[in-house]
């Protein structure tokens, strides 16, 4: 009996002190791509900070819709700030060796923000659905308390889901390779390096894209099909166009966010690592850059608010200049 148990006592759990992130493979002058990501990041920070500031300063924008927009801008800012500076440090300054615990933290923040973007789009979709289909009941069904509760529940679910995936990775033993063929601590690339049973991670890798990306997309598309069907039946052509214009900003965000993301998570390991890096990096940095631009260009309330704040700033400058020194 003792001899049977002895081999089990010799089984060791291998947790490496670090991982090595490779980035692009065999592409010359790739540093210019990372410099491009840096400029995208700067635009994203300025744009999302401006949107958050406008919503905070203008009391007329304290509506359920703009609570969701504020949260979207916050998630975009947090996600980009967690990802881009670290990516630049890894590849522009050749710090591609990342400690184990830092890698888990990196993975957690990247996937939490990436997932929350999806659920933010669900919140905005629900807001548009009720506003157009049930306009008389909108204030009753979608108030500030309801929107805050919805967003809070999305945060709790997302953080719990990502913590489970990180927890499952910490149970893996890495005794073969510590090289991650990605530009960050990518869950899919990471758990496949394990040399012990990674079946639970396989389940998570299959299940999470369905729950976090496919189901929200199905809800969003279904809501807009229902909106379109209702407008065709009830509204005149002019009324329908006017109502649908309020959805253009949101639909633009949906296309920009979901197209490269679903390509990556649907193809999984079939996609070349370089293509995966391009898809995921652009999905991570482009929507946060475009979101504030789209909302400023296509949303009259924010345009009006910006003009109002600009006038107030100009008046305050004139008042300061008129004060005798």
Render pLDDT for 10-59 as a digit per residue (tens, 0 to 9). Answer: 456 789 999 999 988 888 888 899 999 999 999 999 999 999 999 999 88
User: Of 48-62, 103-117, 191-205, 271-285, where does mean pLDDT reach its minimum?
Assistant: 271-285
- pLDDT: which is higher, 56 or 265: 56
The tally of domains found in the chain comes to 1
Over residues 259-287, the mean pLDDT reads: 78
Over residues 126-155, the mean pLDDT reads: 93
d(CA 162, CA 8): 31
Residue 274 lies in a domain: yes
Residue 323 lies in a domain: no
pLDDT of 3 over the 60 cut: no
Residue 51 lies in a domain: yes
At residue 268 the predicted structure's pLDDT band, cuts being 50, 70 and 90, is low
Q: β-strands 18-21, 97-99: how paired?
A: antiparallel
At residue 320 the predicted structure's pLDDT band, cuts being 50, 70 and 90, is low
Virtual torsion, Cα 19, 22, 23, 26, nearest 10 deg: -170
What is the side-by-side strand order in the sheet with 97-99?
A: 97-99, 18-21, 179-180
For residues 288 and 76, the answer to whether their CB atoms sit within 8 Å is yes
Alpha helices in the chain (DSSP H): 2-9, 31-57, 64-92, 100-133, 138-141, 144-169, 187-191, 199-209, 215-234, 237-245, 248-267, 273-298, 300-322
> Taking Cα atoms as reference points, which of 18, 9, 13 lies closest to residue 194?
13
- pLDDT: which is higher, 215 or 256: 215
Query: What's the residue count for the chain?
Result: 325
Mean pLDDT of the chain: 87
Taking only the tens place, the pLDDT of each residue in 47-79 is 999 999 999 998 888 899 999 999 999 999 999
Over residues 119-132, the mean pLDDT reads: 93
Taking only the tens place, the pLDDT of each residue in 210-228 is 999 999 999 999 999 998 8
Residue 5 lies in a domain: no
Question: How much of the chain, in percent, has pLDDT values that exceed 70?
Answer: 91
Residue 61 lies in a domain: yes
At residue 97 the predicted structure's pLDDT band, cuts being 50, 70 and 90, is very high
* pLDDT score at 297: 67
The backbone torsions φ and ψ at residue 57, rounded to the nearest 5 degrees and listed phi first, read -80, -25
User: Of 3-7, 54-58, 80-84, 103-107, where does mean pLDDT reach its minimum?
Assistant: 3-7
- pLDDT: which is higher, 68 or 2: 68
Q: Which CATH number fits the domain that encloses residue 39?
A: 1.20.1070.10
At residue 7 the predicted structure's pLDDT band, cuts being 50, 70 and 90, is very low
* pLDDT score at 1: 42
Partners of residue 98 on adjacent β-strands: 19
- pLDDT: which is higher, 238 or 152: 152
At residue 259 the predicted structure's pLDDT band, cuts being 50, 70 and 90, is confident
Residue 67 lies in a domain: yes
At residue 5 the predicted structure's pLDDT band, cuts being 50, 70 and 90, is very low
Residues 6+ apart with CB under 8 A from 30: 23, 24, 91
- pLDDT: which is higher, 264 or 74: 74
pLDDT of 2 over the 50 cut: no
Residue-number span of the structural domain to which 85 is assigned? 18-300
Residue 2 lies in a domain: no
Locate tokens 């990605």: which residue? 182
Residue 320 lies in a domain: no
């Amino acid at each position: 009996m003792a001899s049977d148990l002895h081999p089990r006592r010799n089984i060791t759990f291998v947790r490496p002190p670090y991982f090595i992130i490779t980035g692009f493979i065999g592409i010359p002058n790739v540093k210019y791509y990372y410099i491009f990501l840096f400029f995208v990041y700067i635009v994203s920070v300025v744009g999302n900070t401006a949107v958050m500031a406008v919503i905070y300063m203008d009391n007329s924008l304290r509506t359920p819709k703009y609570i969701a927009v504020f949260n979207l801008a916050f998630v975009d800012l947090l996600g980009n700030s967690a990802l881009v500076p670290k990516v630049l440090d890894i590849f522009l300054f050749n710090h591609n060796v990342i400690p184990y615990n830092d890698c888990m933290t990196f993975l957690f923040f990247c996937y939490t923000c990436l997932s929350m973007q999806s659920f933010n789009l669900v919140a905005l979709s629900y807001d548009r659905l009720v506003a157009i289909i049930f306009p008389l009941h909108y204030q009753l069904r979608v108030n500030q308390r309801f929107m805050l509760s919805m967003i809070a529940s999305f945060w709790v679910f997302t953080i719990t889901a990502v913590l489970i995936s990180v927890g499952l990775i910490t149970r893996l033993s890495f005794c073969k390779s510590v090289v991650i063929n990605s530009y960050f601590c990518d869950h899919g690339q990471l758990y496949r390096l394990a040399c012990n049973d990674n079946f639970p991670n396989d389940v998570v890798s299959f299940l999470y894209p369905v729950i976090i990306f496919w189901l929200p997309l199905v809800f969003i598309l279904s809501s807009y099909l229902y909106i379109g069907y209702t407008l065709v039946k009830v509204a005149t052509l002019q009324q329908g166009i006017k109502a649908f214009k309020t959805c253009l900003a949101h639909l633009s965000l949906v296309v920009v966010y979901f197209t490269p993301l679903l390509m990556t998570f649907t193809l999984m390991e079939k996609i070349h690592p370089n293509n995966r890096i391009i898809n995921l990096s652009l999905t991570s940095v482009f929507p946060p850059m475009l979101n504030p631009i789209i909302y400023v260009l296509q949303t009259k309330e924010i345009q009006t608010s910006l003009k109002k704040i600009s006038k107030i700033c100009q008046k305050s400058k004139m008042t300061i200049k008129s004060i005798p020194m």
